[in-house]
Amino acid sequence: MRLRNVIVAALVLVLAAGPLATAAVAQGGSIFIPLLVYRTGPYAPSGIPNANGFQDYFNLLNERDGGINGVKIAVEECETQYDTKQGVECYERLKSKAVLINPYSTGITYQLIPKAPGDKVVVHSMGYGMTASADGRWFPWVFNFPMTYWSQASAFVRYVGAQEGGMEKLKGKKIVHIFHNSPYGKEANPTLETLAKQLGFELTLLAVDHPGQEQKATWLQVRKIEPHWIYLSGWGVMNGVAVKEAAGIGYKMDHMIGNWWSGSESDVIPAGDGAKGYKSMTFHAPGAGFKVHQDVIKHVYDKGKGATKKESLGEVYHNRGMINAMLNAEAIRTAMVKYNLKTAPTGEQVRWGFENLNLADAQLDKLGMKGVIRPLRVTCENHEGNGMAAVQQWDGKQWKIVSDWIEPMREVVRPKLEEAAVQEGGEKLKYVKRDCSKEK
């Protein structure tokens, strides 16, 4: 009976004290950047290198430059397990201190888009999230540069056209899109459908249900269709299984192209030699051969502050984390220069910084990022920027860029995107369209 009393008392205490214990530790004067990470759960193999990339780059800024324009950066991780509800909990806990957030999940991005304007928090979904939010007139607080899913899909089609020897050769070709059956996976469908109509290729859409371990039926269909090209929008375990299945049926691996969330080391290594030749889209270079990596080793790893092992530098997702951190930092820097700040900027100021980000080659060179990513320019109308895609190929040991930078078909994508922005922003969220000519 004694034990029971203790239990009851403890339980009441726990229930009452739980949320009370959320008092945030304020860090005086520094720029606070919350990181939603998933170092555990089914998607951890992708989440860990990404989060490490963020940590390493912000550490580098603090160690090498003393932060951004002299103001240190304070990061705090919050574990989401790639789960939407946990992501929202993280956001609610951290938003009072935050000026920007990287949701790192399309599902969480959709949750945060309606909340962000009220909280004055910039949402930067780098290469994921809601494509329509690239129309900055409807979505002032959301950014998805350097590129959207739709631009990516059009770049894929352009690449395939070039490989076939001209866009007109696409007529009658069979292309299969294998996608994760979620908002993320479906994103590329409208663009591919439009282009199929315009260019006359036969498009087949094959959905794979979450989590994507079971793909036997899908690949049976692929065998029947015998497509000329396969586009893969997978995530996590689904990618590895798809690559294995493709190798299993003897599909030409260099005719299977993943999107940029389907092209990391963890997607191809499990398939062994079968994965050799598999390609994926990307918007940045893989590998650790850049100046920024030397800097990270010198200023972070040699001081024992690295987030991972030195050998992991240059992994696709580690690079992507670093680039994401760099873009965040440069947007903040833009804001600090504009408003002449020696302290942490506010959410509104950071938003201005994102919207006026103009990352030229010279600045990239200074950051050691030249060649890692293309110069980028964001405007009020265009929150996707002018990013370009490239194709990388797995040679059995590492990813290598095998194409030039590919310009997406903006003339096809942009009108569709503006249509969708009216639907998502105007009709669903009742936003009012901004007049960009009036923005300074």
Partner 1 sequence: MIYREAGQFKTTYASDQAIFPILQDRVIVALAVAAAFVVPVALANEYWLQAVLIPFLIYALAALGLNLLTGYAGQLSLGTGGFMAVGAYAAFKITSAFPALNIVLVFLLSGVIAALVGVVFGLPSLRIKGFYLAVATLAAQFFLIWLFNKVAWFVNYAPSGTITAPPRTVFGVMVTGPDASAGARYVAALAFVAVFALVAKNLVRGRVGRSWMAIRDRDIAAEIIGVRPLRTKLLAFAISSFYCGIAGAELVFLYLGSAETLAFDINLSFLVLFMVIIGGLGSVLGSFLGAAFIVLVPIFLTNVPHTAGLALPVALQKQIELMVFGGLIVFFLIVEPHGLARLWQITKEKLRLWPFPH
Residues of this chain that interact with partner 1 (CB under 8 A) are 3-4, 7-8, 11, 14-15, 17-19, 21-23, 25, 37, 39-40, 44, 48, 77-79, 81, 84-85, 88-89, 92-93, 96, 107, 110-111, 113-115, 117-118, 130-132, 181-183, 186-187, 189-190, 207, 209-210, 420, 423-424, 428-430
CB 10 within 8 A of CB 203: no
Rounded to whole angstroms, the maximal C-alpha distance in the chain is 82
For 88, 164, 351, 353, 430, the CA distances from 347, given in Å and listed in that order, are 19, 47, 6, 10, 22
Tokens (6 digits) for 178 = 């294998």
Cα end-to-end distance, the chain, whole Å: 71
CB of 330 to partner 1, least distance (A): 26
CA torsion 36→37→41→43, rounded to 10°? 110
- Measured from the CB of residue 285, what is the shortest distance to partner 1 in angstroms? 28
- Find residue 179's DSSP bridge partners: 207, 233
Between 131 and 356, CB nearer to partner 1: 131
By C-beta, is 114 or 200 nearer to partner 1? Answer: 114
Q: How far is the CB of 117 from partner 1 (least distance, A)?
A: 7
Closest approach of partner 1 to the CB of residue 267, in Å: 21
Q: 212 or 368, CB closer to partner 1?
A: 212
Q: Which residues of 25-40 are buried (b: 16+ CB within 10 A; e: fewer)?
A: eeeeebbbbbbbbbee
Comparison of 13 and 362: residue with beta carbon closer to partner 1:
13
- CB of 54 vs partner 1, minimal distance in Å: 12
Cβ 17 to partner 1, closest distance in Å? 7
Minimum CB–partner distance for residue 186 and partner 1 (Å):
5
**Cβ-based nearer residue to partner 1, 252 or 428:** 428
| Complex with partner 1: residue 130 or 253, whichever CB lies closer | 130
Interatomic CA distance for residues 141 and 403, integer angstroms: 33
Question: Are residues 279 and 257 in contact, defined by beta-carbon separation less than 8 angstroms?
Answer: yes
Q: Which two tokens stand for residue 426?
A: 């105007």
Spatial separation of the C-alpha atoms in residues 194 and 70, rounded to whole Å: 48
**Structure tokens given for 418:** 């503006």
When the beta carbons of 8 and 249 are compared against partner 1, the nearer one is 8
